[in-house]
Structure formats: structure tokens, C-alpha cells
Amino acid sequence: MPIFEFACSECGQSFEELVFSASKVDEVVCPVCGSEQVKKKMSTFASKVSGSGSSFSLGASSAPSCSTGSV
């Protein structure tokens, strides 16, 4: 059950919603104005770094970088 981030096209409110299945993403409504004109936002995720206590790392920053071989 992932939590997605959404933005309302009507009032501009950003919010998170627990969505029980991928087919239900289209049924999300804005909690402020009730509009069905919401868009799912791209978001990063946080993961706990092994053996580092309470430190967290963003998923996008932990991805390996691509090297072209040139300096």
C-alpha cells in the first residue's frame, strides 16, 4: 500500500494519499476542495542506511552515477 503525493489542479493544494491499489489512483480527490482534478507528483523515497543508526538517505541520491570514461 504505497503513499503517493498529489497536487490539486483546482486549488493548488499538495497532499499525500494512501492508495490501496494502482487502479484506485484515478479515484483520488483533493481533501481541501473535493476536486477530482488531481495529478500524481513524482517524488523521491527515503530508505534507512544499513548500520548507521537513525540516518536516512534519499533514494535518488543513492543511485550509482553513470561514467562515460572521459575526464
What pTM did the predictor assign? Answer: 0.58
Selected residue with higher pLDDT from 71 and 5: 5
Domain count of the fold of the chain: 1
Sequence length of the chain is: 71
Report the CATH number that the domain containing residue 10 is assigned in CATH.
Answer: 2.20.28
Which residue range(s) make up the domain with 34?
1-45
pLDDT digit string (tens) for 5-53?
Answer: 999 999 999 999 999 888 898 999 999 999 999 999 987 766 667 765 5
CA distance 60 to 38: 24
Question: Looking at the domain assignment, is residue 66 inside a domain?
Answer: no
Question: Looking at the domain assignment, is residue 63 inside a domain?
Answer: no
Question: Looking at the domain assignment, is residue 33 inside a domain?
Answer: yes
For residue 58, the model assigns a pLDDT of: 54
How large is the average pLDDT for residues 51-70?
A: 54
